[in-house]
Amino acid sequence: MNAQADNPKILLVDDEAAITENLAPFLTRAGFTVSVANDGVIALELISSYQPDLLVLDVLMPRLDGRAVLRRLRQENNTVPIILLTQVGESVERAMALEEGADDYLNKPFDPHELVARIRAVLRRAQPGVQPLTTAQQLVSGPLMLDRTSQRVYLNQKELTLTPKATMLLAYLMTHPDELMTRDRLLDAVWGWDYPAGTRTVDTRIAELRRAIGDDSTEPRFIETVPGQGYRFVASVTSHTESNR
């Protein structure tokens, strides 16, 4: 391994040797320094000694599974960025993963290039010591506020009427600001499935969101259209944990 000292350090946690043996060299070539753990217990031990910049964490593992590792780290106020590799794949399960404080997740089997893109995006977003947006109770962007616990959205302190899908979509966009979101990725994250015409479904909900938050698609304050590619939440987002009122 010709890893450079300033390469981001990734801890890859998966019990399946066939995966780590193939994925670790790939991530190394993509410019990361990679260390491997075969289960959650080893991962927890390595985190304190290895001090990784990011964890790629499988969910289903013997001894201590990925979600338990995630919970334990967050309880200890460890904000190391985590990308979960889910395979149960239930959309409820995935939403839960984000609520428990994962920075992102990928469904197995995934495109390894997609994993690299996600790692880079999460690393870019993460600031040491600052609570990641994905674990924030409230997401605030200028006059727009989304309370994730109650699933309510406010604009200038006035509550908006949104369908649950539109709220989930807004939450996903706000937790990934400045990141290009393809329609396929949004479909997968919010709807849990994709199909040929599904991308139109995304457009419909984006239109609903824009109407509700008063965003003009030609001069967007919040959601920008990236022609031929997808959408991007362009405004800056901050997290609040204290309850509102």
Partner 1 sequence: MKRHWLFTLIPAVVGAIIVLLVNLGVGIPWTRVEGSINPRLTIAIAATMSTWGFTVGIVLSTILITVAQLWSWRIRTQTKLEDQKSQASAERREFLQRLDHELKNPLTALRAGLANFSSIDSPPSGSQIKILNSIEEQAIRLSRLTADLRKISELENRPLDQYPLDIGQLLEEVFELIQDQPVARQRKLNLNIPQAPRPLPRLMGDWDLLILAFYNLLDNALKFTKPNDAIDLRAREEGEFVSVEIADTGPGIQAEDLPHLWEALYRGDAGRNVAGSGLGLALVKAIVERHEGSIDLDSHPGQGTSVTVRLPIRDD
Binding site for partner 1 (CB under 8 A): 16, 18-19, 21-23, 25-26, 29-30, 85, 87, 89-92, 107-113, 163-165, 191-198, 200-201
Please say which residue, 2 or 149, places its beta carbon nearer to partner 1.
Answer: 2
Nearer to partner 1 (CB atom), residue 23 or residue 136: 23
For residues 94 and 91, give the distance between their C-alpha atoms in angstroms, rounded to a whole number. 5
Nearest alpha carbon to residue 46 among 22, 21, 73, 24: 73
E-state strands within the chain? 9-13, 33-37, 54-58, 82-86, 104-107, 138-141, 144-147, 152-155, 158-160, 181-182, 223-226, 230-233, 238-240
Residue 134 phi/psi, 5-degree rounding, is -65, -20
Query: Closest distance between partner 1 and the C-beta of residue 29, in Å?
Result: 4
Residue 93 or 224: which CB sits closer to partner 1? 93
Q: Which residues have CB under 8 Å from 229's CB, separation 6+?
A: 180, 182
What SS3 state is found at 86?
Answer: strand
Distance separating alpha carbons of residues 176 and 222, to the nearest angstrom: 12
Choice between 110 and 124, CB closer to partner 1: 110
3-state secondary structure at position 159: strand
Smallest separation, CB 127 to partner 1 (Å): 29
Of residues 121 and 190, the one with the C-beta less far from partner 1:
190
Q: How far is the CB of 36 from partner 1 (least distance, A)?
A: 13
Q: How far is the CB of 41 from partner 1 (least distance, A)?
A: 20
Shortest separation between residue 106's beta carbon and partner 1, angstroms:
9
